[in-house]
Amino acid sequence: MTVLNAVTRALFERLRDEAADVEAEFAVAPTSIDDAAAVIAAARDARLPTAFLGGGTHGGYGTRPEAALVVTTARLDRIVTWHPDDLTVVVEPGVRVAALEEQIAQRAQTAVFPEIPADATVGGVIAAGLSGYRRLRYGPTRDRVLQVQMATGYGAVISGGSPVVKSSTGYGIPRLATGSLGSLGLIGRVMLKLWSQPRAAATVDVDDAAAAYAATYRPLAVLETTEGSFLYLAGAEEQVAAQVGEAEGVAREGLSWPSRIAEPIRLEFRVPAPLVRPAIDRARRLGATRWIAEHGVGRVEAGMDDVEPSRFVDARAWAESNGGALVVADGSVPGVDRWGTAPASIAIQRRIKARFDPAGVCNPGILPGGL
Amino acid sequence: MDAIGALVELLGRERVRTHPLDLFIYAKDAGVSPGDPSVVVLPDSAEEVAAIVRIARSAGMPIGVRGAGTGLAGGAIPAAGSVLIVLTRMNEIFVVDEVGRTAWVGPGVVNLALSRALVSRGLHFAPDPASQQAATIGGNVGTNAGGPHCLAEGSTIGHILGMEVVTVDGEILEIGGAAPDPPGYDLRGLIVGSEGTLAIATRILVRLTQNPPNVETMLAAFTAIEDAARTVSEIIADGLVPAALEMMDGPMVEAVENFIHAGLPVGAGAVLIAEVVGHADGTAAEAALIRETAERNGATEIRLAADDAERELLWRGRKSAFGSIAQSAPDYYLADSVVPRTRFVDAVNETYAIAERHGLRLMNIFHAGDGNFHPLVSYDASEPGMTEKVVRASHEMIHASLAVGGTLSGEHGIGVEKRDLMPEVFSADDLDAQARVREAFDPEGALNPGKVLPAGSRIVAGSGR
């Protein structure tokens, strides 16, 4: 902190977040995106590695920098405008996913965020590029981020995307921001596309998830887990009733989602959808005691107490040779990178990082390839 | 050896065109302004595209890219002195993965040809622009094309999983893929909709959608656009997102009916076409709900397509709208506007007022479910000053949309047509950020220069260090 000049210190002091539970020397909670940009600009000038914090529920993605400064979204927590008739909502990044979903559920709408969000914030989910299980029907979260504001690593406040549900207007800044893990700056307010909640929904216990996926028209999700295999259906009452009738298995009304994987180590296989079963086999051989596999999507989350690094390396080589990845999402595996081999496009990715965070202070090293 | 000589050596004389007639043909897309290429090349492979890019770069020539040229915003018209890469010969469907519901296709594959080729497997490519009989998947990627069924399925961006691209350095890279959420930045999401300015897609991994077990398509006629629009709003407020909710105004219905004789209700103020898909029991219930809603809002006639032939006829009516214009006037100017759905009637009424002020003939066609609409002015470009007048009126219409919270383009893209309107929806800082994205891919602006960003939008002073 000694490198900060008086002005910067005063700014940081004003925004100081005493409540934040962080290891950094300083935590600040800006009350506006302009303040956030001023803080980042000061961090840039002082070359202070800076981290961003939402709900702290998905802190395991990427290698966290040793941050001198943490910017939290604790005071950027308003639902700004909800346009239920346009199926859009504008929210600040610190809004809890659960609070947003609860509010818009009053008009039977959903943002299709992860189903068990715990304390996750809207900004955090978007920054981490997380999607819920319902992506099989509604697409990933990135398809619903219509507009995004960002306090960039170079100290500007920018906005990208369009305030409507369909647009082909300019470069896809919201797509770039989604999943960028704070490496380009802090995500500010966002406009999201909402969906109406289907009028009926059911969860069917099935014997064979892969067969259920192949046989069912547009299910909401098809999960194969340690606790069983489940087919999730939604739509008009008649549609759900008919599909339940055709599915072979016991049906319950409503959607029962599996609980979050809470084992010390959580891995994510991200593989082409037809490889879900082999990925489950790999997870078991790695010692997984819990898993949740998304048929039709290709994501298999696996939880375990411990993992043998050499076996992990083999499993990662298998995933990567099939065009996928094996990501360490929580906990750590000694001696291995959290993401794996950097993407082929790393040179372009590096230039994007350099143009949005020229001083390299925004979550340095959090992305694949050490970006 | 000069660039043309090098290109001829690479591709042979037949696939390198410099004859004025060829240059003339490829200089235009379906929009109003022509480009000015120096040479047109027709590669067959990514390797050839990469070699062309290297030749163009070492000769200091800008690089244009195009598919079928059905775009309306001028995204595919080449800058002066360009090497124009035409990708239509790269039209192979390489691999279809029925289990994963994906396919690798060449950028020159025609949109409708892809869905037709997949019929026996029960799959299709969901984006269905009206130009789908000619438009290519590569072009759909360039403009982030839409279409009637994007209401429920989303635009092209949601249906592209990965790409093989050629960069401005002539390198061949694979981006994204069949696995979800590839770690790192979503370059795929940046390239889709970038109108050939970031990279050239030479192979495309598309997501395929299941064909529905049952489809119900219906037409509802109304005396006023307001009634049809209210019907749309109430359907969606009811929690139903139909597969498509399309609308045509009275003049458009008349033009289409005179053209295809589908028995459309001539004399109606507006016609709504709604489609629901799914299990037969579900679609029957949803169709009933739409019928009730339409009746409650004063529908004068409701027609449910009894079979595929009738459904096809209804859709042919919708999709031949632009073709039907030729009988009323030799030229037309089609705008692409999108507003929040609740502001849709205000924006549309304003377009009629503007057309009337300029003494122009206006028809409207709408993707009503998502607030996207296409005011269409038919006119005779040989009348002196007419084109300028039409463009002026069209810009007024765009401003009317922006005034109610809309944006510049829903599905056609920015191209050259709306490039200089970008500062009306983005601040200088916003455009600077977009310029940074472009520079990260193409620092010297050699790929399709003059598209998307307005000239001079980049703020160099005070930018990143």
**Which CATH number does the domain housing residue A353 bear?**
3.30.70
Reported as type and span, the H/E element at residue B102 is: strand B102-105
Residue A371 lies in a domain: no
Residue A26 in tokens: 């300083």
Q: Lowest-pLDDT range, A2-6, A59-63, B30-34, B411-415?
A: A2-6
**Are residues A204 and A179 part of one domain?**
no
Domain with residue A58: its CATH number is 3.30.43.10
Q: Which residue of B has its CA nearest to A327?
A: B183
pLDDT for A5? 62
- Which tens digits make up the pLDDT trace of B248-271? 999 999 998 988 888 889 999 999
Rounded-to-integer distance, Cα B25 and Cα B34, Å: 9
Residue A365 lies in a domain: no
- Which tens digits make up the pLDDT trace of B203-216? 999 999 999 999 99
> Is residue B155 within 8 angstroms of chain A, CB to CB?
yes
- Write the Ramachandran bin of B214: left for phi over 0, alpha for psi from -120 to 50, otherwise beta: beta
Answer yes or no: is pLDDT of B31 > 70: yes
Pairing of strands A69-72, A26-28: parallel
pLDDT for B465? 29
- Which tens digits make up the pLDDT trace of B71-81? 989 999 999 99
**Are residues A174 and A120 part of one domain?**
yes
> Is residue B24 within 8 angstroms of chain A, CB to CB?
no
Report, as an integer, the average pLDDT of B283-302.
96
Q: Are B7 and B16 spatial neighbours (Cβ–Cβ below 8 Å)?
A: yes
For A:118-147, CB contacts with B below 8 A are 129, 131, 135, 139-140, 142-143
- Which tens digits make up the pLDDT trace of B83-103? 999 999 999 999 999 999 999
Answer yes or no: is pLDDT of B32 > 90: no
Q: How far is A18 from chain B (nearest CA, A)?
A: 32
Q: How far is A234 from chain B (nearest CA, A)?
A: 11
CB nearest to B174's CB, from A217, A239, A344: A344
pLDDT for B461? 30
Residue A348 lies in a domain: yes
Q: Are B245 and B274 spatial neighbours (Cβ–Cβ below 8 Å)?
A: yes
pTM: 0.96
CB nearest to A323's CB, from B177, B339, B405: B177
Residues 6+ apart with CB under 8 A from B201: B107, B138, B141, B142, B163, B164, B165, B191
Q: Which residue of A has its CA nearest to B418?
A: A169
**Are residues A269 and A172 part of one domain?**
no
Rounded-to-integer distance, Cα A93 and Cα A123, Å: 4
**How many CA atoms, within 13 angstroms, populate the side-chain half-sphere of residue B91?**
19
Reported confidence tier of residue B331, pLDDT bands at 50, 70, 90:
confident
Answer yes or no: is pLDDT of B464 > 70: no
In terms of residue numbers, what domain contains A156?
Answer: 79-196
**Are residues A32 and A135 part of one domain?**
no
What residue type is assigned to position B21 of the chain?
L
**Are residues A167 and A63 part of one domain?**
no
Q: How far is A252 from chain B (nearest CA, A)?
A: 19
From chain A, the residues in CB contact with B367 under 8 A are 166
**Are residues A101 and A178 part of one domain?**
yes
> Is residue A369 within 8 angstroms of chain B, CB to CB?
yes
What residue type is assigned to position A88 of the chain?
T
pLDDT for B463? 33
Q: Which residue of B has its CA nearest to A156?
A: B429
B418 vs B323: which has the higher pLDDT = B418
From chain B, the residues in CB contact with A369 under 8 A are 184
CB nearest to A239's CB, from B144, B158, B282: B282
Rounded-to-integer distance, Cα A369 and Cα A185, Å: 18
> Is residue A340 within 8 angstroms of chain B, CB to CB?
yes
Residue A307 in tokens: 């993992």
- Residue where one domain finishes, among candidates A74, A105, A129: A74
Share of chain B above pLDDT 70, in %: 97
pLDDT for A19? 72
CA A234, A239, A245, A247 dihedral sign is negative
- Which tens digits make up the pLDDT trace of B168-204? 999 999 999 999 999 999 999 999 999 999 999 999 9
What residue type is assigned to position B110 of the chain?
V
Q: How far is B9 from chain A (nearest CA, A)?
A: 30
CB nearest to B237's CB, from A85, A197, A356: A85
> Is residue A188 within 8 angstroms of chain B, CB to CB?
no
Q: How far apart are the first and last CA of chain A?
A: 24
Rounded-to-integer distance, Cα B336 and Cα B329, Å: 20
B414:A129 CB<8 A: no
Residue of B279, B336, B370 to mutate when probing chain A, most A C-beta within 10 A: B279
Q: How far is CA A300 from CA A262, A342, A348, in A?
A: 15, 20, 28
> Is residue B239 within 8 angstroms of chain A, CB to CB?
yes
> Is residue B445 within 8 angstroms of chain A, CB to CB?
no
Rounded-to-integer distance, Cα A101 and Cα A84, Å: 13
CB nearest to B180's CB, from A173, A298, A369: A298
From chain A, the residues in CB contact with B178 under 8 A are 272-273, 298, 323
pLDDT for A39? 94
- Residue where one domain finishes, among candidates A74, A92, A118: A74
What residue type is assigned to position B349 of the chain?
N
Report, as an integer, the average pLDDT of B295-308.
95
Q: Which residue of A has its CA nearest to B344?
A: A86
pLDDT for A1? 45
Chains A, B: CB contacts under 8 A, how many?
281
Residue A128 lies in a domain: yes
**Are residues A231 and A146 part of one domain?**
no
Which among B290, B292, B238, B245 is positioned nearest to A108, based on CA atoms? B238
> Which portions of chain A are predicted below pLDDT 70?
1-8
Q: Are A301 and A60 spatial neighbours (Cβ–Cβ below 8 Å)?
A: no
Alpha helices in A161-275 (DSSP H): 173-177, 209-215, 237-246
Q: How far is B394 from chain A (nearest CA, A)?
A: 17
B465:A154 CB<8 A: yes
**Are residues A318 and A212 part of one domain?**
no
Q: How far is A238 from chain B (nearest CA, A)?
A: 5
> Is residue B80 within 8 angstroms of chain A, CB to CB?
no
B100:A371 CB<8 A: no
Q: Lowest-pLDDT range, A176-180, B21-25, B105-109?
A: B21-25
From chain B, the residues in CB contact with A240 under 8 A are 282
User: How many domains are there within chain A?
Assistant: 4
- Write the Ramachandran bin of A260: left for phi over 0, alpha for psi from -120 to 50, otherwise beta: beta
> Is residue B98 within 8 angstroms of chain A, CB to CB?
no
Q: Which residue of B has its CA nearest to A105?
A: B239
From chain B, the residues in CB contact with A363 under 8 A are none
> Is residue A20 within 8 angstroms of chain B, CB to CB?
no
For B:371-400, CB contacts with A below 8 A are 371-372
Q: Which residue of A has its CA nearest to B280?
A: A239
Which among A81, A86, A91 is positioned nearest to A113, based on CA atoms? A91
Residue A155 lies in a domain: yes
pLDDT for A230? 98
Which among A247, A243, A240 is positioned nearest to A206, based on CA atoms? A247
Rounded-to-integer distance, Cα B321 and Cα B17, Å: 34
pLDDT for B407? 95
Helix, strand or coil, per DSSP, at residue B179: coil
**Are residues A233 and A152 part of one domain?**
no
pLDDT for B34? 87
At B417, give phi and psi (nearest 5°). -55, -45
- Which tens digits make up the pLDDT trace of A112-170? 999 999 899 999 999 999 999 999 999 999 999 999 999 999 999 999 999 999 999 99
From chain A, the residues in CB contact with B180 under 8 A are 131, 135, 140, 270, 297-299
Domains and CATH numbers, chain B: 3-86 (3.30.43.10), 93-210 (3.30.465.10), 214-319 (3.30.70.2190), 329-403 (3.30.70.2740)
**Are residues A326 and A225 part of one domain?**
no
Report, as an integer, the average pLDDT of B226-233.
93
**Are residues A126 and A67 part of one domain?**
no
Domain with residue A101: its CATH number is 3.30.465.10
Residue A159 lies in a domain: yes
pLDDT for B59? 97
Residue A269 lies in a domain: yes
Q: Are A20 and A13 spatial neighbours (Cβ–Cβ below 8 Å)?
A: no
> Is residue A278 within 8 angstroms of chain B, CB to CB?
no
- Residue where one domain finishes, among candidates A221, A253, A285: A253
Residue A285 lies in a domain: yes
3-state percent helix, strand, coil for chain A, nearest multiple of 5: 30, 25, 45
Q: How far is A72 from chain B (nearest CA, A)?
A: 22
